[in-house]
Amino acid sequence: MNPLMITCAITGAETTKAKQPALPITPQEQAQAAADAVKAGASIIHLHVRDEDGNPSQSVDRFRESIQAIKKRVPDVMIQISTGGAVGESIENRMKPLSLKPEMASLNLGTMNFGDDVFYNHPKDIVSLAEKMQQLGIVPELEIYEAGMLESALRLQKQGILKEPMNFQFVLGVPGGMSGDLRNLMHLVSLLPNPDAHWGVAGVGRFQLPLAVHALTMGGHVRVGFEDNVFYSKGVLAQSNAQLVERVARIAREMGREVATPKKSREILGI
């Protein structure tokens, strides 16, 4: 089995300090969180940034500052910036940070209800983001919240807009998308076009741990972190993003699955 790539989504756009006091917000806090997560076994950091007041932002300057701070602490780590941003962010702002040419960026494959909000992803915007990433040599991670989005990605691949090998992240448990029921994960994996496709799972809230454990036994990869879940166990807040990474890395090793270094993750993704 491939070594396990662990992505850590350290900040997100919707999580607040009120919900999770250890949420990293400033570039220095994000650098510390990333360094600790990498030490615990993460090889990819899924990155959102915040403004001075802690509000979600797609500011290019803020992304630059955070990326530089993270790279100073952990030069090796792969950084995957968010082009999803916060619900309601304009597509222009979501696209701008691609100018920084990170190694990876997220690409959301469809519009959906997102809790009490609507997360808009117009087909033409999805194509624009995908084309921009391709022009700039940025590897897209395909964010899939329900089965129709996976089928949309496969259509884009047939049209030549997305290239193989594709790299899917199944984000399960958002109210409005598929829940973290294991049958949903099995179904999504069964729809994958060929064995070369990479896939991982990001379970939201209480789904994070059971989905992570199932994915790592099935040959998939795993995302954890405060973007998706702030708890370590029922009613108990996690102390840090690294604590969530460390648990998955420990379970993987116990089950005989090697944890990928950033170098290994680049090899797996063909970067």
**Is residue 86 a contact point for ligand KMH (CB under 6 A)?**
yes
Q: Running DSSP on this structure, what letter comes out for residue 82?
A: -
Residue closer to ligand KMH, measured from CB, 179 or 217:
179
Nearest to 77 by CA among 225, 271, 216: 271
Contact 244, 224 (CB under 8 A): yes
Nearest to 98 by CA among 58, 38, 149: 58
Give the C-alpha separation, 147 to 184, whole Å. 8
Q: Which of 106, 152, 184, 229 binds ligand KMH (CB under 6 A)?
A: 106
Q: Which of 22, 87, 147, 192 binds ligand KMH (CB under 6 A)?
A: 87
Binding mask 211-250 for Zn ion (x = CB under 5 A): ----------------------------------------
**Residues from 43 through 82 that contact ligand KMH (CB under 6 A):** 82
Give the C-alpha separation, 92 to 98, whole Å. 11
CA angle at residue 155 from 223 to 151, to 5 degrees?
A: 50
* Minimum distance, C-beta of residue 45 to ligand KMH, in the bound complex (Å): 12
Binding mask 12-31 for ligand KMH (x = CB under 6 A): -xx-----------------
Q: Is 232 helix (H, G, I), strand (E, B) or coil?
A: strand
Total of chain residues touching ligand KMH, rule CB under 6 A: 12
The option from Zn ion, ligand KMH, none interacting with 114 (CB < 5 to 8 A, set by class) reads: ligand KMH
Nearest to 60 by CA among 94, 28, 87: 94
* Minimum distance, C-beta of residue 168 to ligand KMH, in the bound complex (Å): 13
Residue closer to Zn ion, measured from CB, 58 or 82:
82
The residue of the chain with the least Cβ separation from ligand KMH equals: 84
**Residues from 107 through 126 that contact ligand KMH (CB under 6 A):** 108, 114, 119
Residues 6+ apart with CB under 8 A from 175: 113, 114, 115
Cis bond before residue 210 (omega within 30° of 0): no
Contact 204, 224 (CB under 8 A): no
Give the C-alpha separation, 43 to 45, whole Å. 7
Q: Which of 82, 108, 184, 208 binds Zn ion (CB under 5 A)?
A: 82
* Minimum distance, C-beta of residue 61 to ligand KMH, in the bound complex (Å): 19
Give the distance, in angstroms, between the CA of residue 209 and the centroid of all CA atoms in the same chain: 15
Which range, of 21-29, 106-114, 158-166, 193-201, touches ligand KMH by CB under 6 A? 106-114
User: What separation in angstroms does the CA of 21 have from each of 118, 225, 245?
Assistant: 27, 14, 18
**Is residue 83 a contact point for ligand KMH (CB under 6 A)?**
yes
Residue closer to ligand KMH, measured from CB, 84 or 203:
84
**Is residue 167 a contact point for ligand KMH (CB under 6 A)?**
no
Q: Which residues bind ligand KMH (CB under 6 A)?
A: 13-14, 82-84, 86-87, 106, 108, 114, 119, 143
